[in-house]
Structure 1
Amino acid sequence: MRALTVVPLQSGTAEVRDVPEPGTGGDRLLVEGLALGVCGTDREIVSGAYGWAPPGHDRLVLGHESLGRVRGAPEGSGFAAGDLVVGIVRRPDPRPCPACAHGEFDMCRNGEYSERGIKELDGYGSELWSVEPDYAIKLDPALAETGVLLEPASVVAKAWDQVERVGARAYFAPERVLVTGAGPIGLLAALLGVQRGLEVHVLDRAESGPKVRAVEGLGATYHSGQVSEIAGKLRPDIIIEATGAASVVFDAIAGTGAYGIVCLTGVSSAGRTISVDLGGANRSMVLENDVVVGSVNANPRHYTAAAQALVAADPDWLASLITRRVPLERFAEALEARPDDIKVVLTLGR
C-alpha cells in the first residue's frame, strides 16, 4: 500500500512509497484511510526540523490529522465495519509518569510519550492503518467530508477546557473572547466560543478572502490590525492565542481585561528576540489577577468534546475551512503554504 514517509531530520526525503499493510485481526481496528490534514508540524518534519522514526526504522509514516473508515474491528470493541473514525495522536509513556497514569497523557510530565506521525510511531498517512480501539474516536456519519478537522478541534477543545478550569478558581462569567490568528486552530477556537454564547472577535493579517468570510460566517467580528490596539478597545475576558508570533504573544498577554485569561496554543519559533517591559507586564498580571496558560495536544475526552462541537456546527461552514484537497501522490503541493489556505487535506484513496 502507499504511504507518505520521511527520514526524520533529513530535508528532502519525503516521498510516497509502498509499505507493508497492517495485519488483520488481533485487538486493533483495521481502517481505510480517507483523508489526512496537513499542518505546520508536518511541514517542519519534512523540512528536517524534528521528528523521530519508530525504533529500528529509518523512515516515519507522516500524518496525525486522520480520517478513516473501519474495515474490520475486534468483537466487543464498540466499533463495526463502516464506522467513520479518527485516530488519537498521543500515547502515554511506558513508565508511566503520574499524569499518564491518570489518563492525562496530554499533560505528560517526563516527555517520554509517543505520537502517531511525529514521534516514534508511524502516522495515519497511508491507504490502510490500524489503531487500538481505546485510541479511536467514532464520528457521526454527517462528518464524512469534514471529520479530518477533529484533531485540530480537539486541541481547541482542550484549550477551552483549560480556560474554564482556570476561570473556575473564582467567579467566572466571561462575555468577550479575542482569538489571535485565523488559521484552523483560531477559527475552530472561534467556533467553540460562539457555541458558548460569547461575543467572539478574531484578529488576523488578511484583509479579505476565506478567513474573513469564515469569521463573518460564524457571526463573529473580524479585525485586521495590531493586537495591542484591538485588545485595548475590546478588553476581552479571554484571549486564545493561535499564531505563535512572539510580538503577538506578548501583546496578547498584556491585552485582557482584569481577571483575564490568555491561553497560548501557537508554538513560537526559537531564536527571535523582542524588547518587552517585563516589569510592567508582571505588575499588570499581579494587580489584575491575570492568568497565562499554555495548552497543547489532547486526550480522549477532548476529542469527544470536539466531535460534539463539529456535529453541532453548520456543515457548510465547516466545509469552507478545507480550502484545498490534494491527491496523495501530489503531496508536495499540499506542503506548500499558500496565502488563501486555511486547511489543506490530502486524499488517500486512489
Structure 2
Amino acid sequence: MRALTVEPGRAGSLAITEVPDPEPDAGELLVEGLALGVCGTDREIAAGEYGWAPADRQRLVLGHESLGRVRRAPDGSGFAPGDLVVGVVRRPDPVPCGACARGEFDMCRNGRYTERGIKQIDGYGSELWCVEPDYAVPLHPDLVGVGVLMEPASVVAKAWEQVQRVGERSWFEPRRVLVTGAGPIGLLAALLGVQRGLEVHVLDQVTDGPKPALVAALGATYHHDPVDTVAARLEPDVVIEATGVGQVVFDTMAHTASYGVVCLTGVSAPGRRLTFDAAGINRELVLENDVVLGSVNANLRHYRQAADALAKADPAWLNGLITRRMPLARAAEAFTARPDDVKVVVTLDG
C-alpha cells in the first residue's frame, strides 16, 4: 500500500512510498484511511526540524489528523465495518507517570509518551492503518466530509475545558472571548465559543480570503486592527491565543478584563527576543487575579467533546475550513502553505 513517509531530521525526505499492508494485532481495528489533515507540526517534520521515527527504522509514516472507515473489527470492540473513526494521537508512557496512569496522557509528566505520526509510532498517512479500539473515537456518518477536523477540534475542546476549570476557582460567568489567529485552531475555538453562548471576537491580519467570511458566518466579529488596540477596546474575559506570536501574547495578557483567563495554544518560534514590561505584567496578573496557561494535545475525553461539537456545527461551515483537498499522489503540494489556506487535507481513498 501507499503511505506518506519522511525521514525525521532530514529535510526533503518527504515521499510517497510502498509499505507492507498492516496486520492488526489481536483486538485492533483495521481501518481504511480516508483523509489526513496537514498542520504546522507536519510541515516542521517534513522540513527536518522535528519528529522521531520508530526505533527499528529510519522512516516514519506521517499524519496525526486522521479520518478513516473501519474495514475489520473484532467481536466485542464496540465497532463494526463501515463505522467512521478518528485515531487518537498520543499514547501514555510505559512507566506510567501519575497523569498517564489516570488517562490524562495529554498532561504526561515525564515526556515518555509516544505519538502517532510524530514521535516513535507510525501515523495515519496510509491507505490502511490499525488502531486499538480504546484509541479510536466514532464519528457521526454525516461528518464524512469534515471529520478530519476532529484532532484540531480536540485540542480546542481541551483548551476550553482548561479555561473553565481555571475560571471555576471562583465565580465564573464569562461574556466575551477574543480569539487571536484565524487558522483552524482559532476558527474552531471561535466555533466552540459560539456554542457556549459567548460574544466571540476573532483577530487576524488578513482582510480578504475566506477567514473574515467564516467568522461572520458564525455570528462572531472579525478584527484586523493591532491586537493591543482591539484587546484594550474589548477587555475580553477569555482569550484563546492561537498564533504563537510573542508580541500578540503579551499584548493580550495586558488587556483582559479583571479575572481574565488567557489560554495559549500557539507554539512560538524560537530565536526572536522581545522587550516588555515584566513588572507591569506581573502587577496586572496579581492585582486582577488573572491567569495565563498553556494547553497542548488532548486525551480521550477531549476527543469525545470535539465529536459532540462537530456534530452540532453547520456541516457547510466546517467544510468551508477545508480550503484545499489534495490526492495522496500530490501530497507534497499540501506542505507548501498558500495565503488563502485555512486547512489543507490529503485524501487517501483515491
Interval of TM-score (by shorter of Structure 1 and Structure 2): over 0.9
Deviation string 1:215-250 (CA, Å, 9 cap, x unpaired) is: 000000000021110000000000000000111111
Look up the match of 1:227: 227
Look up the match of 2:8: 8
Look up the match of 1:66: 66
**CA contact under 8 A between 1:157 and 1:305: conserved in structure 2?**
yes
Deviation string 1:162-219 (CA, Å, 9 cap, x unpaired) is: 0000000000000000000000000000000000000000000010110011000000
Look up the match of 2:167: 167
SS at match of 1:67: strand
Look up the match of 2:35: 35
Deviation at 1:255, TM superposition (A): 2.1
Deviation string 1:51-81 (CA, Å, 9 cap, x unpaired) is: 0001111000000000000000110000000
Look up the match of 1:339: 339
Alignment of 1:225-304 (within 5 A): 225-304=225-304
**CA contact under 8 A between 1:66 and 1:151: conserved in structure 2?**
yes
Alignment length (residue pairs): 350
List 4+ stretches of structure 1 deviating above 3 A.
Answer: none
Q: Which whole-Å CA distance do the structure 2 matches of 1:8 and 1:48 have between them?
A: 6
Deviation string 1:59-110 (CA, Å, 9 cap, x unpaired) is: 0000000000000011000000000000000000000011101110000001
Deviation at 1:332, TM superposition (A): 1.4
Q: Which whole-Å CA distance do the structure 1 matches of 2:103 and 2:49 have between them?
A: 29
Look up the match of 1:76: 76
Look up the match of 1:115: 115
- Scaled by the length of structure 1, what TM-score is found? 0.99
**CA contact under 8 A between 1:194 and 1:218: conserved in structure 2?**
yes
1:98 aligns with 2:102: no
Look up the match of 2:88: 88
**CA contact under 8 A between 1:25 and 1:74: conserved in structure 2?**
no
**CA contact under 8 A between 1:182 and 1:202: conserved in structure 2?**
yes
Q: Which whole-Å CA distance do the structure 2 matches of 1:114 and 1:128 have between them?
A: 20
1:188 aligns with 2:184: no
State the AA in 1 paired with 2:72: G
Q: Which whole-Å CA distance do the structure 1 matches of 2:186 and 2:111 have between them?
A: 26
SS at match of 1:215: helix
State the AA in 1 paired with 2:238: I
**CA contact under 8 A between 1:135 and 1:300: conserved in structure 2?**
yes
Q: Which whole-Å CA distance do the structure 2 matches of 1:241 and 1:139 have between them?
A: 27
**CA contact under 8 A between 1:67 and 1:148: conserved in structure 2?**
yes
Alignment of 1:132-147 (within 5 A): 132-147=132-147
Deviation string 1:23-42 (CA, Å, 9 cap, x unpaired) is: 14621000000000000000
Q: Which whole-Å CA distance do the structure 2 matches of 1:24 and 1:268 have between them?
A: 38
Deviation string 1:320-349 (CA, Å, 9 cap, x unpaired) is: 000000011111110110010000000002
SS at match of 2:316: helix
Q: Which whole-Å CA distance do the structure 1 matches of 2:98 and 2:57 have between them?
A: 29
Q: Which whole-Å CA distance do the structure 2 matches of 1:16 and 1:51 have between them?
A: 18
Q: Which whole-Å CA distance do the structure 2 matches of 1:7 and 1:208 have between them?
A: 37
Q: Which whole-Å CA distance do the structure 2 matches of 1:250 and 1:6 have between them?
A: 36
**CA contact under 8 A between 1:68 and 1:85: conserved in structure 2?**
yes
SS at match of 2:115: strand
Q: Which whole-Å CA distance do the structure 1 matches of 2:306 and 2:247 have between them?
A: 29
Bigger drift between 245-254 and 19-28 goes to: 19-28
Q: Which whole-Å CA distance do the structure 2 matches of 1:264 and 1:240 have between them?
A: 6
Alignment of 1:46-65 (within 5 A): 46-65=46-65
State the AA in 2 paired with 1:260: G
State the AA in 2 paired with 1:14: L
RMSD: 0.6
- Scaled by the length of structure 2, what TM-score is found? 0.99
- Structure 2: gaps of 5 or more residues: none
State the AA in 2 paired with 1:129: W
Q: Which whole-Å CA distance do the structure 1 matches of 2:299 and 2:39 have between them?
A: 19
Alignment of 1:317-336 (within 5 A): 317-336=317-336
Look up the match of 2:307: 307
SS at match of 2:50: coil
- Give the fraction of aligned pairs with identical amino acids, expressed as a percent: 69
Q: Which whole-Å CA distance do the structure 2 matches of 1:24 and 1:194 have between them?
A: 40
**CA contact under 8 A between 1:65 and 1:149: conserved in structure 2?**
yes
